[in-house]
Amino acid sequence: MTRSILAGLAAVVGVTVLSGTGCQANGVGDPCIPEQEYDPTYAGANYDEVGVVPGSFQCLTRLCLINHFQGRVTCPYGQAANGAPNSPATAGCVTPGLNTNVSALVQPQCTDRQATEAVYCSCRCENLSGGTDDGANYCKCPSGFSCTQLVSSLGAGLDQGLTGGYCIRDGTAFSASVTTQSTSVCATTCGEGGSADCGPADNMGGT
């Protein structure tokens, strides 16, 4: 089941709303780092979930989308719980800017859902019913992006104004067709090829 995580700097379970929306198409697709990654205890995003982080000052749209992505944008190969790097060619994970050592186990990115196609600035383009005539702010997706339903529910008592469709890169819609599980260093659903399915290179020792 897909959940939407709206999280601030602290690690959370469930959903935390940072702020409201208000989107425009300018800047859709620009790279962004989820603000959770500034927290050294944050283990990273979950491959099975969608996250929307409103209030992102990195984005002209003020919203950073995390669309079925695993790990940290700033640490492609992840690290062990003791901070040891998963790849001999890389260091362990650190927070962006401050370079504080991350204290959590961080899963490596999956080659089929890397940051360039799964984490970027986006905006809300339609409501849960596929409409745009309810008085809320919506954007029109620019060329190369499609309006796709991503957030179905935020749970009772939370801002349902963030449910609905968001602009995603064409050809990057998530498919949950992988049903087998891997016991390699990659998390389940990230492929059956072991380390070849982790990180941005062909293997975890790649450059």
Kindly state whether residue 3 falls inside one of the protein's structural domains. Answer: yes
Kindly state whether residue 182 falls inside one of the protein's structural domains. Answer: no
Give the range of the structural domain holding residue 167, as residue numbers without chain letter.
1-176
Kindly state whether residue 48 falls inside one of the protein's structural domains. Answer: yes
- Quote the number of domains for the chain: 1
User: pTM to 2 decimals?
Assistant: 0.77
Which pLDDT band, with edges at 50, 70 and 90, does 158 fall under? low
pLDDT reading at 145 higher than 50: yes
pLDDT reading at 17 higher than 80: no
Kindly state whether residue 22 falls inside one of the protein's structural domains. Answer: yes
Give mean pLDDT, residues 167-173. 95
Kindly state whether residue 190 falls inside one of the protein's structural domains. Answer: no
Kindly state whether residue 33 falls inside one of the protein's structural domains. Answer: yes
pLDDT attached to residue 63: 96
**pLDDT digit string (tens) for 61-94?**
999 999 999 999 999 888 999 998 877 777 889 9
Give mean pLDDT, residues 47-66. 93
Which pLDDT band, with edges at 50, 70 and 90, does 203 fall under? very low
Cβ–Cβ < 8 Å for 3, 50: yes
Q: d(Cα 195, Cα 34) in Å, to the nearest integer? A: 25
Kindly state whether residue 157 falls inside one of the protein's structural domains. Answer: yes
Kindly state whether residue 191 falls inside one of the protein's structural domains. Answer: no
Q: d(Cα 147, Cα 4) in Å, to the nearest integer? A: 17
